Structure 1
Amino acid sequence: MSQQKNSESSGHGAHSRAAAANALFQVLEKGESLSTALPHATSKLSDADKRLASAISYGVLRVLPSLNRLVGAKLDKPLKGKLKVLHYLLLVGAYQLYCQRIKDHAAVSATVEAAQVLGKRNHKGLINGILRQLLREAPAADESQQRELPDDAMQNHPRWLFDSIKNDHPEHASDILTENNAHPPMWLRVNCRHSSRDEYLKQLQNSGIAAEPDNQAADAIRLQSPCPVEKLPGFADGHASVQDRSAQLAADYLNVNASHRVLDCCAAPGGKLLHLLERHSFELPVQAIDIDPKRLDRVDENLERAGLSAIIHCADVAATSDWWDGEPFDRILLDAPCSATGVIRRHPDIKWLRRADDINDLASLQSDILKSLWPLLKPGGELLYATCSILRQENQTQIESFLQQQSGASLIPIDADNEMLQLLPGDYNGDGFFYARLKKVE
C-alpha cells in the first residue's frame, strides 16, 4: 500500500501504467515471458514505479479472462493493430479499480494519462470513458477498496490447462486453480556454511522481519511478508538465497555425500546447485550443465555471491559426447525442462504462453534426456528426477514409462509414504513440484 502511495505522489503514475500495458502487450501478443518483458518496459522507472508496474502486470495475468470480459463488453469493436496496446491499458485500469488498494480517481487519472505516454494522446477520451463506465457499474468496494470480479467458469485458466488439472487431480483441482491465482509466499534458503537456520531466524527478527521455519525442508524459512532482498541480513554475501521450499527438497532427496561425483543437469539459475555446495564439501568438483548461456550467467553470479565453485558446461545435456569426460557419476540431479505448471502463482504468464501441444513435446524431451543420462550413472548410482510440473504426463507417467523401458532401473521410494512425490501448489505453502528417485541396478 505504501509503495503505491509513494508512486502516486512521485508524479510518474502514468509511466508505471504505460509500462505495465507495454509489458502485457509483449507477453500476450509477442509471446515474451513477463520476466523478460517487464524489466525492459520498466528500465527507466523509479523503484516505486517499477514495483507498481510489476504488481499490476502480474495481477492482470492472474485474472485475465475476467478483465477481458469487463473491458470487451464496453468496446464497440476490438482494438487492433497499433491500437492494441490500448486494450492492455484498459486491462491495467480495470485491474486497479477492481483489485488494488488505489483510490479510484488516481487509478483512472493515471491510466488516462498513460495513453499519452504510449503515444495515443487522441485516445485519452476513449480510455477515460470506458474506465468511468466500468466504475459506475462496478460493485461496491470492500473495506480494502477492492471489488469482486465477475466469475470465470475456468477460474481464469485456459481451457486445455483447466481440463488437464481436472483430469490429473480431480479431488484437488479447485484448490489448485485457486492457488494458481494467489500471491506466492517468499521463501529463503539459509546457507548453513554461515549460520544455522535458527541463528538466521534471530537475525531476521533483529531486523524486524517476521519469519518462520519449515517443518520438512531443513534450511527453509518463510517470510510472513515479502521484502526486498537488500533488506535480508547477509544476502549480498550469500548468507541466504530466495528459493521455494519445495525446490529445496532436492538437496535431501538426492541422497548425496561428500565422496560422490555429482552432476546437476539443466542447472540454471543454480539454486539447487548452490544448495548442494552449501551443504557438502565435495572431494570432487560438482559438475553442472545447461544449454542456455544467459541463464548460466546467473549460475556464475550466484556462485560468486556465495563464494563457491563448480565445473560448468554450456551444452545440450543429451549430446553427452560433446561434454562428458567418460567418468561415470554417483549421483545425477535432473531438474528436467517442463511446463512449469507448478509455479504458475509465481509466473502467471505461463497460463497464457503454454499450449496443450507443448506438453507432448516436453515429455518427449524429458524422455530423451533421461535415456541420454542413464549411461553416465555408475552401477548402484542414483538419479533424482525433478520437475516443477503438476501434470502426470511429465511426472508419474514419464517415470513409469522409463522403468518399463530400462531393465536396469529401479524406483527408490521418496519416503515411507510415497514412491514418487507430487507436491501441489500450496502444499505446505510451497510450489507444485515432483520428485522420483531412480537407482541403477549393480
Structure 2
Amino acid sequence: MHILFTLGLIMALGLAGGRLFERFGIPQVVGYIVVGVVLGDSVLHFISLKTLDDLSPLTSMALAFIGFMVGGELKYSIFQKYGRQFFSILLSEGLLAMLLVCTLTILLTKNIPLGILLGALSSATAPAATVDVLWEYRSKGPLTSTILAIVALDDGLALFLYGFAFSFANALVTGGGLNIRIMVLQPLIEIFGSLLLGFLISLIIDHVLRWIKTRDDQLVINVAAILLASGIAKHFDLSLILTNMAVGLTLTNLHPDRNESNFEVVKKFVPPIYIIFFLFVGARLQLGLLPSMGILGVLYVLGRTIGKWAGSFLGATISGAPLTVRKYLGFALFSQAGVAIGLALDIYQHFGEFGSAGERLGHTVINVIAATTLLVQIIGPLSVKFAISKAGEIPEQIQNKSEGE
C-alpha cells in the first residue's frame, strides 16, 4: 500500500484502540502500543521493520516534541521549590537500579562486562509513555512535577553512567585500558552540547516570537524551531530529547506569560504524531522474544523495578519530599524504550567486532532490552496512572469519568 494510506489507516486504528482502552479505564497510550503490536511483525505483518525504518524521522519528530513539551513544564519556580528533592531522587533511583541489575546479572552469568552494561542501561527511563499519561489525565501536584523532572533528567544520568560502564566493559573484553574520553568527555559533550544547542536556539526563537501576532504563525515558528534543533542535534550526534527539552525549558522561563501560548498551540498540533509514534513503538516490539527473555530477563526487570522504586523512596525520604512522592514515585518510573534501545544497539555494534565472546555479549544485551521493553512499555503507563490516582493528582471530573467508564 502507498505510505500515505498506511499512515492514515494506522492513525485511525490507533485512535480507535486508544479510545477503546480508555473506556475500560486504561491509559490510551497502552491502546496505541497494543494496536502497534497487532499490526507489526508479531501478528498481522502489516507494518514491516523496513517501513518503520523508512519512517524513522516521524519517530524522531515525536521524541523532539515530547522533549520540548516536557521542558515547558520545568519552570524555575518548581525547581526552586523541589530542586534538591529532584537531584536526590535522580541519583538514588538511577544508581540503585544500576547496582541491583549489575549484581544480579553477575551472580547469574558470572559475566562482569554484561552485568556492568545492563546495569547502566537499567538506569534510563522512557519519558514518552509516562508523560503522555500525565497529559491524558491532566494531573497536577508534587508527584506530577517530580515525575516530569525525573524522566527529563534521567536520560542525562543514563548517558553519563553508560560512558563509565562502556569504558570498563570495553577494557575487560579487549584487555585494554580505561578510556577517559569515553568515560567522561563523551557523555559530558553530549549532555552539555545538547543543552547549549537548545538554549541558543530558544534565544533566537524567543526574539522572533516577540513579533508574531497570530497563533498560526506561532505554531509554524515553534515547529520550525523544534525541527531545526532536532536536525542540528542529529548532525552532531547530540541528544534529541535533551536538546528540545532545553528549548522548551528556556522558553518557559525567559518570558513565562508571553510564551505560555506557544506550548498550548504545539500541544494541539501533536496528537496525530504521538499516535503514530506509540503505534510504531508497539510495531517494533516482538512477542516472540518474550520466551527467550529467560531468567536473566526476569532478573533484569526485578532488579530495575526494585531499584527504581526503592531508590526513589530513599531519595525522596532523604530530601524530605511529600508523602505522596515517597510512596508512589517508584511506580511511575518503569517505562523503558528509546535511550535504552539506542545504547543497546551501540553495544551490539561495538562488541560484535571482538570475536565470539563480544558477539554473544552484544546479542544478549539486545535480546534482554528488546524483550523487557515489551513488558515494561505495557505495564509502565498503567503504573503511572495508579501512582497519580493514589496521590490524588487527577482532577475529580476526569477521575470520575475514568472510573465510570
TM-score bracket, shorter-length normalisation: under 0.3
Choose between structure 1 and 2 for higher RCO, CA contacts under 8 A separated by at least 6 residues: 2
Higher helix share: 2
Which of structures 1 and 2 has the bigger CA Rg? 1
TM-score with structure 2 length normalisation? 0.26
